[in-house]
Chains A and B, each alone.
Chain A
Amino acid sequence: MSLYNDPIGHWVVVTVAIALLLFVVLTATAYTVWFERVALGRIQRRPGPNRVGPFGLLQLAADGIKLAFKESFVPAETDKLLFVIAPTIAVAAAFLSWAVIPIGLWYNVQYWIADVNIGVLLIFAFSSLNVYAIVIGGYASNNKYSLLGGLRSAAQLISYEMALGLSLVPTFMIVGSLRLRDIVEYTVHWGWYNGPIPLILLTPIGFVIYLMAAVAETNRAPFDLPEAEQELIGGFLTEYSGLKFVMFYLAEYINMITVSALAALLFFGGWYLWVIPPVIAFFIKIVLFLFLYIWLRGTFPRLRYDMLMRLGWKVLLPLAIANVIVTGIVLVATQG
């Protein structure tokens, strides 16, 4: 495409892509919340939101307006700057990941912002900044529950980041690249079959570890200890209300979509799905992963903190390391 090579055209394309992606991700987040409430309701045999708009689809608009008009509360005797910065970091870190997530390749047009060499590493780098939002939010709330929730969450994120990163290493070893596009377009030549395959066929254990670690990374049930209501009220969210709460909430759901998209890209062939158009195929895969998330939330009770840490350090991390070593041995044996 000549448009990409022209310096000014390149910037125009990137700017338009950023604006579009911002809009799409925000809308997707709103409907993820709607989808979660409806699906969770159905699991409990409730209808979920069904009053505002057809099928309750405008519920999020109503909630958003309500939250936007709430008082912007800041607790007394706190560092007000930090209190405001925390949700900003959360949203910024969540959005930044989408700069490198490839959505699809259709008629030689790429539906993403940047196709970088170190895509997956960048996503890890941005998601590691999310810890700051939670710890600072907990610290600046001047509330013991917030502080405990923030510290718990930080410990949880650090613990599971290792397993998450290591669970993907076999994939990188097989593909030989960190560029997300290369991973999606990884092709095999098995007898009569030439073409892209879902990499879960080659790294099933990596996928299982990724799935668990990703749920923990996004602070979702059953690993939602930072917001364990019974023990910590709302965790680091306790003192947040109005638009600042919306920002944390938004970040949580963007992260949820991000890890779903990563799972689709890294293990399920990204935008390749039979004859379905690429962007729609990618969308279908993300929705299925989101449903899995909601399904898990509707099924499993929350883990105890020591169980969480034991699972992360004593089960997932050794398993991930073993997976890396075994994959390395197999790769050396088969490819020489």
Chain B
Amino acid sequence: MADEKSSQPEHPTPLRGPREGVPAKPEGKHPGVAADVAALAGGLKTTLSEFFRPVVTTMYPEDKTVRSERYRGRHYLRRYDNGLERCIGCELCAAACPVGCILVIAAENSDENRVSPGERYAKTYEINMLRCIFCGYCEDACPVQAIVLGPEYELSDTSREKFIYTKEKLLEPMPPDVEARLRASAAHPSPLPDGERGTPK
């Protein structure tokens, strides 16, 4: 019974039947025509004063707004100082990716062809930038800090194929402020449980 009572909709205004007619307007002082005109004039004055104030638009390609230190843009694959790739082909980044935009195909390292210090390396490493949402989970998941997100956000291009970033493109030298970003990110707690994220040395 209590449910039935609560399911009754409460009308904020009383309903009226078809023959009751429009109820009388509530008592109170209706503003006169002069007040209405004054209100309109007030609006016109406001917009005119805005007209003469300076423009606040940022002229984007020429002027850019200040980017956060921890801004996450396009990806980079890092190398060790001795030139070996950090990536060990573990595919944890691909597993962590919410949209599945990372493709990793691993291959065994051998003494003749040593690409990374570990047992395996990434033979293929591709990121589909059209799918990427720049969440940074790949970076958090990586045990060797191979994949990091850089600062660039102007990634427009002329064909869909060009948005599949290959390993060669991802291994391009990083801009210097990525290190600063990694340090800044490390200063903030990770949303993931402890131990799932490496800290820079």
A and B touching (Cβ–Cβ under 8 A): yes
On A, residues with C-beta under 8 Å from B are: 39, 41-47, 295-296, 298-300
Is A42 within 8 A of B57, CB to CB? no
Known: A42-B50, A46-B57. 9 other contacts (CB 8 A): A43-B47, A43-B51, A45-B50, A47-B57, A295-B47, A296-B44, A299-B47, A300-B40, A300-B43
Q: What's the minimum C-beta distance from B77 to chain A, rounded to whole angstroms? A: 37
What CA separation (Å) do A257 and B66 show in the bound complex? 44
With an 8 A cutoff between CB atoms, is B48 at the interface? yes
The B1-58 residues at the A interface (CB cut-off 8 A) are 40, 43-44, 46-48, 50-51, 53-57
Pairs A-B, 5 closest by C-beta atoms: A299-B47, A47-B55, A299-B43, A42-B51, A43-B47
Chain B residue at minimum C-beta to C-beta distance from A45: B56
The B77-108 residues at the A interface (CB cut-off 8 A) are none
Report the count of interface residues on B (CB-CB < 8 A): 14
Identify 30 residue pairs between A and B in the complex whose beta-carbon atoms are under 8 Å apart, listed by A's number: A39-B51, A41-B55, A42-B50, A42-B51, A42-B55, A43-B47, A43-B48, A44-B50, A45-B50, A45-B53, A45-B54, A45-B55, A45-B56, A45-B57, A46-B55, A46-B56, A46-B57, A47-B55, A47-B57, A47-B59, A295-B44, A295-B47, A295-B51, A296-B44, A299-B43, A299-B44, A299-B46, A299-B47, A300-B40, A300-B43
On B, residues with C-beta under 8 Å from A are: 40, 43-44, 46-48, 50-51, 53-57, 59
- Chain B residues with CB under 8 A of A298: 47
Most buried by A among B40, B44, B53: B44
Q: What's the minimum C-beta distance from B147 to chain A, rounded to whole angstroms? A: 38
Return the contact of A43 from the options B50, B56, B57, B59 (Cβ within 8 A): B50
Interface SS majority for chain A: helix
Interface SS majority for chain B: helix
What CA separation (Å) do A333 and B55 show in the bound complex? 55
- Chain A residues with CB under 8 A of B43: 299-300
What CA separation (Å) do A44 and B55 show in the bound complex? 8
Chain B residue at minimum C-beta to C-beta distance from A41: B55
- Chain A residues with CB under 8 A of B57: 45-47
Q: What's the minimum C-beta distance from A45 to chain B, rounded to whole angstroms? A: 5
- Chain B residues with CB under 8 A of A45: 50, 53-57
- Chain B residues with CB under 8 A of A296: 44
Chain B residue at minimum C-beta to C-beta distance from A292: B44
Chain A residue at minimum C-beta to C-beta distance from B42: A299
Return the contact of B48 from the options A44, A46, A47, A295 (Cβ within 8 A): A295
